[in-house]
Amino acid sequence: MPKILHIGDIHLDSPFSLFDVEKSQARRNELRGTFTSVMMYAKMKEADVVIISGDLFDSEFVTKETLNLLVSQFAGNPDCRFVITPGNHDPATAKSAYLKAKFPENVYIFKSESIEKLSFDDIGVDIYGFAYTQETYEQNPLEKPIETDKSKINILAAHADITNRKSVYCPMKEWDFAVSGFDYVALGHIHSGGEIEKIGETYYAYCGCPEGRSFDECGVKGGIFINAEKKDGELKIDFEHPRFCKKRYEKAEVDVSGTLTREEAVSAIKKAVTENGWGRDTLLRVHLCGVVSPSADFGAESITAQETGVFYIEVEDFTRPLLDYEELKNDITIKGAIFRELLPRLESRDEQERKLASLALKYALAALAGDEIK
């Protein structure tokens, strides 16, 4: 029974621009560590094939350190085949590592925009794939029918976009898979990953990225491990979803209605961290929400990861001041004039505009009351 690990969108040497220089380097090192963990997992599970569905690198430029790591990891598992399909971030150009570097014999890299086939007869698997040779790939390679060997397990490795028919990143449709003759389509490009889907007789899935790199890539990240067997044309297949990420990005809205102090806000955040099972592996973005007194002072920007129990934290105050709107509307003092001036923005559909108007009103009322403004 062939064992296949499907991964993609690793983006080695990603810049991690969210952080300072020191933390960016630490995250790049962790990303290499994640790749090493993937390779250890493949070895431990005795995978016959590892499919990397594009964007192994973050760009054409690859550091010598990263390239040496790849070569050593591939060579360290000679019984496994590594099949790579270059994507839009790491196209197979004349300058790319795919064409310039020397990889071990158990590494197979698609280098043409046309679909090619790799046959691994000893395990009864045929893997089809293609390469980006520039940053875009506007055609659908499945528009022409492909003749597959029904006695084998047929897999397509594709860095493609099945969510947008006008995409410049290999637009495909699910229906293409149904009539393709493939048993499984190993997709890359969409970092969130997804459930295993089936159309016709074809399974397909995005593996997602094994390590998130920003708050656009929240949650636990990993890959897909496949056990497959075909006898007399009948496919038996099952899937596992191993976790590979060292860190996870998460977002949370924390309601601090009725609270006044920074300590109370920190306590509310810590409660959310505990309830969600987050910890020192978590990079967290928090929106404080709710209705609070105009005198409330949370010092959101100063709340630290250490005191909330996570690796990294960003806190933004989106709370609204607790006010009697009807009273302020009819107030003939400067307080009412300020409120009426800000009211259209307080009721705006734009969240950021509402936030700024709420802050402006809060600071104006505090100043009028003679309170200290922090």
Please write the tens of the pLDDT for every residue from 316-353.
Answer: 998 877 777 777 788 888 988 988 898 888 878 887 88
Which residues are within 8 A (CB) of 50 and not within 5 positions of it... i.e. 6 or more apart? 4, 5, 7, 38, 42, 80, 81, 82, 83
* Range 288-318 burial, b when 16+ CB lie within 10 A, else e: bbbebebebbbebeebeeeebbbbbbbbebb
Q: How far apart are the first and last CA of the chain?
A: 65
Task: Express as a percent the part of the chain with pLDDT over 90.
Answer: 69
Phi and psi angles of residue 306, each rounded to the nearest 5 degrees, phi first: -60, -45
Confidence of residue 139 (pLDDT cuts 50, 70, 90): very high
The reported pLDDT for the residue numbered 349 is 83
User: Checking phi first, is residue 233 left (phi over 0); if not, alpha (psi -120 to 50) or beta?
Assistant: left
Q: State the Cα–Cα distance between residues 365 and 363, nearest whole angstrom.
A: 6
Q: State the Cα–Cα distance between residues 48 and 52, nearest whole angstrom.
A: 13
DSSP sequence for 234-279: EEEEEEE--B--SSEEEEEEEE-TT--SHHHHHHHHHHHHHHTT--
Structure tokens that stand for 346 in this block: 């307080």
Confidence of residue 19 (pLDDT cuts 50, 70, 90): low
The reported pLDDT for the residue numbered 194 is 84
Answer whether residue 45 shows pLDDT above 90.
yes
Structure tokens that stand for 33 in this block: 């560590």
DSSP sequence for 198-220: EETTEEEEE---SS--STTSBS-
Q: State the Cα–Cα distance between residues 86 and 125, nearest whole angstrom.
A: 20
Structure tokens that stand for 189 in this block: 């490009």
- Interstrand relation of 153-159 and 184-188 (parallel, antiparallel or unpaired): parallel
Q: State the Cα–Cα distance between residues 197 and 239, nearest whole angstrom.
A: 11
Residue closest to 127 by CA, chosen among 137, 118, 136, 114: 118
Is 52 within 8 Å of 84 (Cβ atoms)? Answer: yes
Residue for token pair 């108007």: 357
- Interstrand relation of 224-231 and 234-240 (parallel, antiparallel or unpaired): antiparallel
Coil, strand, or helix at residue 314? strand
Q: Which residue has the higher pLDDT, 61 or 148?
A: 148
Answer whether residue 20 shows pLDDT above 70.
no
Q: State the Cα–Cα distance between residues 194 and 197, nearest whole angstrom.
A: 8
Q: State the Cα–Cα distance between residues 206 and 223, nearest whole angstrom.
A: 9
Answer whether residue 312 shows pLDDT above 90.
yes
Is 112 within 8 Å of 131 (Cβ atoms)? Answer: yes
The reported pLDDT for the residue numbered 62 is 86
- Interstrand relation of 312-317 and 282-289 (parallel, antiparallel or unpaired): parallel
Which residues are within 8 A (CB) of 116 and not within 5 positions of it... i.e. 6 or more apart? 110, 128, 129, 130
Which residues are within 8 A (CB) of 9 and not within 5 positions of it... i.e. 6 or more apart? 53, 54, 55, 87, 188, 189, 191, 207, 208, 209, 210
Answer whether residue 17 shows pLDDT above 80.
no
Coil, strand, or helix at residue 290? coil
* Domains of the chain listed by start with CATH number: 3-240 (3.60.21.10), 248-368 (no CATH)
The reported pLDDT for the residue numbered 125 is 97
Answer whether residue 216 shows pLDDT above 80.
yes
- Give CB contacts under 8 A, 24+ apart, made by 99-105: 101/62, 101/67, 101/71, 102/71, 103/70, 103/71, 103/74, 104/71, 104/74, 104/75, 104/78
Average pLDDT, the chain: 91
